[in-house]
Amino acid sequence: MFLDAPGGYGKSTLLQVVAADARSKGDIVLCVASSGIAALNLDGGTTAHSMFKLPLDLGDGTGYWNLRNTQQRADLIREAKLIIFDEISMAHKFLIEILDRSLQDLMGTNEVLGGKVCLFAGDFRQIPPVVPSAKTPSDVVFASLKCSHLWPHFRQFRLTVPQRTRSDDEYSSFLLSVGNDTLPQHVFGEGDNTDKVIALHGIRSVEKLDELIASVYPPDILRDPDASSTRAILCAHNVNVREINSAVMAKLPGGVQQLVSVDTIDKEMEGVDIDIDTLHLAEGKGVPNHILDLKIGAVCMIMRNLNMSERLVNGTKVIVEGISPRLVTVRKPGTQELIAIPRILFRFPVLEGSPLQMCRRQFPLQVCYGMTVHKSQGQTIFKVGLDLRSDCFTHGQLYVALSRTRRSDDVTVLGAPDRCVDNITYVRNIVYQELLDNT
Ligand SMILES: Nc1ncnc2c1ncn2[C@@H]1O[C@H](COP(=O)(O)OP(=O)(O)OP(=O)(O)O)[C@@H](O)[C@H]1O
């Protein structure tokens, strides 16, 4: 079964209810999602990789994984009456295809997904799987479950009433038009430099970064880390995230404490002559920087799945309570319990695509007043700033960013300087129609 609905129509909430109902009758329900942070929306949720012990490298998607490797896990999966998978539109189709073959092998049957009752949920208007090697939109579309041989086997159910934006009907309709790409297009620029954009009518526009920051994090909110953690400035690009976090950190009270990573060349690469400054400058996807600037009271995001049962996963927001070179002490917003975060080891290429691997020992923390739209998928955010000085670059990014809040009044946008006309900001909306067919 596939539960299909636009963002904020209550998919995750319904999955929770279905799981709770089945469990109340004594049935085993496995709840997974394509990311740790999305899995937190489900009781007992974990990542699909962790639940099914799937390989991180999905290869060409033709393999299968021997689920019998772990006896206890194999028994649990065999016994499960229902498998729930949220945010499936973000999962690479290879993951579902490997899961299909692995379940068939475990259950000893040729039936799709081993004959298990599966309830998958997602919204193909939202951001598709990340395909690092993608060169064209077709490469991204190819990776979607929609393009899998399994897709025709799913029976579809729809939710039709917006929940997150139920107090703002006009905004609900606007969001749907953004997701379905049915708003009128305007053309900016001339000759070869033209760009098709849509108008963000009804959304407050600002012209400077300081104004955007002040609208999301006014001084009284900045002094209250719990309140700050319910807000975010969303950006399409990491470079803007970094700029926003530096600017907000400068406004936070208190002194900065610098935590410097220990960077080394990977053991297997010993003997390779490389400058230590090159290692310090290296940046990896999901890897903290060589220098981590923190302040007491700063809102940070955890950058690794540290502990699913403690709900400390990649994307969990925490508030810094203590800083020392060996430990950073944090607490989750709305709680008082202190959690010690140690440094951990990150292994990654010195340059993207390079075979030269390096190791960085650093705290898995990143200041998160600004964050990428990708990280916000699946979340409800009380006040959103949109930094669209650099446009969105992939399918569904604008729609995900706009659909995190409850009302249009809770969004403020900063666009490129030449894209704000009469207080209306014009931005690019990328939608791959192939992903919306039959949606
Ligand atoms: N039936 C309901 N009644 C009241 N509030 C609801 C209901 N369903 C969902 N909500 C609220 O609406 C918001 C969005 O719900 P939910 O996260 O389940 O939507 P979603 O479709 O999974 O969204 P997304 O696609 O963005 O992940 C949440 O704040 C949730 O508490």
In testing the pocket of ligand 1, which one of 12, 86, 403 has its CB within 8 Å of the most ligand atoms?
12
In the β-sheet with 299-302, what is the strand arrangement from edge to edge? 339-342, 327-331, 317-323, 299-302, 365-367
The mean pLDDT of 304-326, rounded to a whole number, is 91
Find out whether the beta carbon of 8 lies less than 6 Å from any atom of ligand 1: yes
Find out whether the beta carbon of 164 lies less than 6 Å from any atom of ligand 1: yes
Phi then psi for residue 427, to 5 deg, are: -135, 160
* Contact of 378 with 38, CB cutoff 8 Å: yes
The mean pLDDT of 94-114, rounded to a whole number, is 92
Q: How far is the CA of 260 from the centre of ligand 1 (A)?
A: 40
Weakest mean pLDDT among 35-44, 107-116, 266-275: 266-275
Find out whether the beta carbon of 13 lies less than 6 Å from any atom of ligand 1: yes
Mean pLDDT of the chain: 91
**Band of pLDDT at residue 68, cut at 50, 70 and 90:** low
The structure's pTM equals 0.89
Task: Read off the pLDDT of residues 401-416 as tens digits, 9 standing for 90 and up.
Answer: 999 999 999 999 999 9
What was the pLDDT predicted at 246? Answer: 95
Find out whether the beta carbon of 123 lies less than 6 Å from any atom of ligand 1: yes
Q: Is the ipTM of this complex over 0.85?
A: yes
Residue nearest to atom 9 of ligand 1 (CA): 10
Find out whether the beta carbon of 387 lies less than 6 Å from any atom of ligand 1: no
What was the pLDDT predicted at 64? Answer: 63
DSSP codes of every residue in 97-156: HHHHHHHHHHHT--SGGGG-EEEEEE-TTS-----TT--SHHHHHHTSGGGSTTGGGPPE
Task: Read off the pLDDT of residues 21-32 as tens digits, 9 standing for 90 and up.
Answer: 999 999 999 999
The mean pLDDT of 361-383, rounded to a whole number, is 93
**Band of pLDDT at residue 63, cut at 50, 70 and 90:** low
Residues 236, 423, 406, 286: what is their CA dihedral angle, to the nearest 10 degrees? 10
Q: Which atom of ligand 1 is nearest to the CA of 86?
A: 22
Residue of 84, 82, 164 lying closest to 122 (CA atoms): 84
Query: For residue 319, is pLDDT > 80?
Result: yes
Find out whether the beta carbon of 380 lies less than 6 Å from any atom of ligand 1: yes
* Contact of 314 with 390, CB cutoff 8 Å: no
Q: Which residue has the higher pLDDT, 267 or 255?
A: 255
**Band of pLDDT at residue 276, cut at 50, 70 and 90:** confident
How many Cβ atoms sit within 10 Å of the Cβ of residue 311?
15
* Contact of 232 with 382, CB cutoff 8 Å: no
What was the pLDDT predicted at 2? Answer: 95
